[in-house]
Amino acid sequence: MCGIIGFSGCEPAAPILLDGLARMEYRGYDSAGIAVRSEHKGLQIKKAKGRLQNLSDLTHNGADLEGTLGIGHTRWATHGEPNDINAHPHVSENGQIALVHNGIIENYLEIKESLLQKGVRFTSDTDSEVVAQLLEFYYRESGNMLDSVTRVLHRIEGSYAFGIICSDYPNALIAARKDSPLILGYGKNGNFIASDVTAILKYTRDVAYMDDGEVAVITPHTIDVFNSELEPVEKTRSQVDWDVSAAEKGGYEHFMFKEIMEQPEAIRKTISPRIRNGRVVLDDISMTADYVRQISRICIIACGSSYHVGMVSKYNWERLLRRPVEVCLASEFRYSDPLVDDHSLVIVISQSGETLDTMAAMREAKRRGARTLSIVNVVGSSIARESDDVLYTWAGPEIAVATTKAYSTQLVLMDLVGLYLADQLGSICEEEYREILEQMQLLPEKMQEVLKQTSDVQYYASRYFNHSSIFFIGRNLDYAMGMEGSLKLKEISYIHSEAYASGELKHGTISLIEPGTLVVALGTYAPLFDKAMSNVIEVKARGAEVLALTTEAFREKMEKTADATIAVPETHTILQPSLGVVPLQMFSYYMALQRGCDIDKPRNLAKSVTVE
């Protein structure tokens, strides 16, 4: 939520800031703004409501702003409607200090009240402006920017990543972070801060990750980092190996479609290094077999699509481990006085590694003594760094707001971890273990087969895109997969949709089925295929139009009853959702396309939810 970038260097800042914001626009797209300092003009601020393109047009792609020091912001509104005034950067009353912020200042009203009493005038409705004004207030007293920033940080409560510039400091950009991501980038012609590494990849791969409570001073040739007491901190630098082209559309109309197509390769990259000589090898984790045997509780925590991966994994792990596995929404878990302790293993799933609720839930679990293992896509992200163990999904940068390849890589990685734990516990027989691993390695190939059915799915979308409410029904793994299919559809096509466990239909939901209602019936879970068929017959009897998803083996049977059928190749039962989810992603994509929706940037959403 909200993307921030800052640059202090030896070349014009504005075009670099705009380029970085364009690569981070998926973090928020209500409005955008930049502030650039120049020797002659002081601080120049430009903001525009709506998409970043408006700001680029307003500034002639940055050419209008002179100066080599600047900050930029793309906003996902929390406090105050999206308009030019509430857009960042926010500027202090005397125009000397400009600031961009990602996060929420929880005590802003109290601070605002006290500043108002001192005669400070505010222009926006945001919590962020309060910080700019408070900073000016302290700066007037001390005349030292770094001291003033530190005082402000001691006074405010909430989450933040800040980029701050001041007209008195020709080269220095100040950054601070708590509970919102911020990366330092060491470039040739200048140094950077950014919420996401994708924003600066074009300029540098040499980065360091700021930790909570740290403050940094960035100049064209130096980056100095301090702790909250202003003692110097030595940062470890790392090289990012993401391919720059992975964050570009590469000829595709939408990132989402490109990312759907990249799934076979992403899965290959995620599993290949972890399967050696027919065994799952998880070098990156430090859990011993003894530890695994004494685990009394396994709990998966996540949000959104990552939670849906958790749902699939619950079914799969319980089958493989013969142990109860719970899956909890992170936002609920964190406030539920959770029953976890030092015999609990908590699995944290997050593509971004920055989702605030997931991070807070993980911290709560750790506070209670649980061991945490995170499944994360973004290297160096907060969840990855704070968990006891981390396993990365190697999906590469995911730019579309609706996740596809990150979801798929999480799914296979969770299957691998499940197998690994089952092996440690001795709860799986050798034959099944081998069979699952063999089938897993065939997934990329089989997924390519599924991707060839694009035109069929496109045709069904052209038939059904006018429906205003769609039901996904399924049992067991199909139910879990339906939850993801339904979320994908609603987030990008804005069609109301719900996923139900088929067995629940007759306990209420079936009253909503009337002639013409579209039901997406999922029948890929072989052990319960006959039951899935019965449910199709049930809704057909009430006049529903049924689009069914099944496997090749059941295609013929399904075609006799459903109005339309999509079939995917078979694989081992526990892996079937990895193939089944792909047509559902494509279906959402084409439904949204037919409806003229902004597929990569759906309304009201942003990737990486770093606010509560």
Q: What single DSSP character describes residue 297?
A: E
Measured torsion, CA atoms of residues 18, 22, 26, 32, in degrees rounded to the nearest 10: 30
Contacts of 30 (CB under 8 A, 6+ apart): 49, 50, 75, 76, 77, 82, 87
To ligand F6R, the closest distance from the beta carbon of 335 in angstroms equals 18
Smaller CB distance to ligand F6R: residue 518 or 606?
A: 606
**Nearer to ligand F6R by C-beta: 78 or 351?**
351
Return the residue of 12, 62, 304, 474 that touches ligand F6R, per CB under 6 A: 304
Which segment (79-87, 280-288, 297-305, 516-524) binds ligand F6R by CB under 6 A? 297-305
Sign of CA dihedral 138, 142, 145, 151: negative
Of residues 558 and 581, the one with the C-beta less far from ligand F6R: 581
Considering only residues 358, 387, 408, 571, which one is a binding residue for ligand F6R as defined by CB under 6 A?
358
Which residues make Cβ contacts (< 8 Å) with residue 607, sequence separation at least 6? 26, 27, 352, 398, 399, 400, 401
The sign of the dihedral angle between the CA atoms of 232, 238, 244, 248 is: negative
As measured in angstroms, the least distance from the Cβ of 66 to ligand F6R is 38
Within 389-418, the residues that bind ligand F6R by CB under 6 A are: 402-403
485: which 2 tokens?
């299919």
Query: Shortest approach of ligand F6R to residue 308 CB, angstroms?
Result: 8
Which residue, 307 or 471, is less far from ligand F6R as judged by CB? 307
532: left (phi over 0), alpha (psi -120 to 50) or beta: alpha
Shortest Cβ 333–ligand F6R spacing (Å)? 13
Show contacts with ligand F6R in window 485-524 (CB under 6 A): 487, 491
Q: Which is nearer to ligand F6R, 59 or 608 (CB)?
A: 608
Residue 341 C-beta: closest distance to ligand F6R, Å = 25
State the DSSP H helix or E strand holding residue 347, giving kind and residue range, or none if neither.
strand 344-350
Per the structure block, which two tokens stand in for 542? Answer: 């009430």
Q: Is 385 exposed, middle or buried (0-12, 13-18, 19+ CB in 10 A)?
A: middle
Length of the chain counted residue by residue? 612
**What would the two tokens of residue 503 be?**
């067995």
Q: How far is the CB of 608 from ligand F6R (least distance, A)?
A: 6
d(CA 306, CA 515): 34
How far is the C-alpha of 583 from the C-alpha of 212, rounded, in Å?
41
Q: Is 232 helix (H, G, I), strand (E, B) or coil?
A: strand
Show the tokens assigned to 379. 């290297």
* Residue among 2, 166, 299, 303 flagged as catalytic: 2
State yes or no: residue 573 binds ligand F6R (CB under 6 A): no
Mark 439-478 with x for binding to ligand F6R (rule: CB under 6 A) and - for no binding: ----------------------------------------
CB of 307 to ligand F6R, least distance (A): 7
Which region, judged by CB under 6 A, interacts with ligand F6R, from 304-312, 313-321, 456-464, 534-542?
304-312
Q: Give the residue with the Cβ less far from ligand F6R, 90 or 258.
A: 258
User: Quick one: 62 or 602, whose CB is closer to ligand F6R?
Assistant: 602
- Distance between CA atoms of residues 52 and 566, nearest Å: 39
In angstroms, what is the minimal distance from the CB of 609 to ligand F6R?
5
Helix axes 576-594 and 477-493, enclosed angle (nearest 10): 20
Q: Which is nearer to ligand F6R, 303 or 536 (CB)?
A: 303
CB of 12 to ligand F6R, least distance (A): 33
Among positions 321-350, residues that touch ligand F6R (CB under 6 A) are 350
Q: Is 303 in the site for ligand F6R (CB under 6 A)?
A: yes
Which of these ranges, 176-184, 185-193, 301-309, 335-343, lies near ligand F6R under the rule CB under 6 A?
301-309
User: Is residue 351 a contact point for ligand F6R (CB under 6 A)?
Assistant: yes
Q: Active site includes 2?
A: yes
What is the identity of the amino acid at 175?
A: A
Nearest distance in Å: CB 358, ligand F6R: 5
Tokens (6 digits) for 326? 């719970």
Find out whether 13 and 98 touch, Cβ atoms under 8 Å.
no
**8 A C-beta contact, residue 411 and residue 387:** no
Residue number, 303 or 443, with CB nearest to ligand F6R: 303
Interatomic CA distance for residues 525 and 575, integer angstroms: 10
Judged by CB, which is closer to ligand F6R: 103, or 304?
Answer: 304
Residue 478, classed as helix, strand or coil, is: helix
Interface segment toward ligand F6R; rule CB under 6 A; list 167-175, 284-292, 302-310, 534-542: 302-310
**How far is it, in rounded angstroms, from Cα 379 to Cα 475?**
35
Q: Where in 2-31 is the site for ligand F6R (CB under 6 A)?
A: none
Question: Total number of residues binding ligand F6R (CB under 6 A)?
Answer: 15
Residue 599 CA to residue 586 CA, distance in Å, equals: 12
Catalytic residue among 47, 49, 488, 607: 607
Counting contacts by CB under 6 A, is residue 355 touching ligand F6R?
A: yes
Q: Which residues bind ligand F6R (CB under 6 A)?
A: 303-306, 350-352, 355, 358, 402-403, 487, 491, 608-609
Residues forming the active site: 2, 607
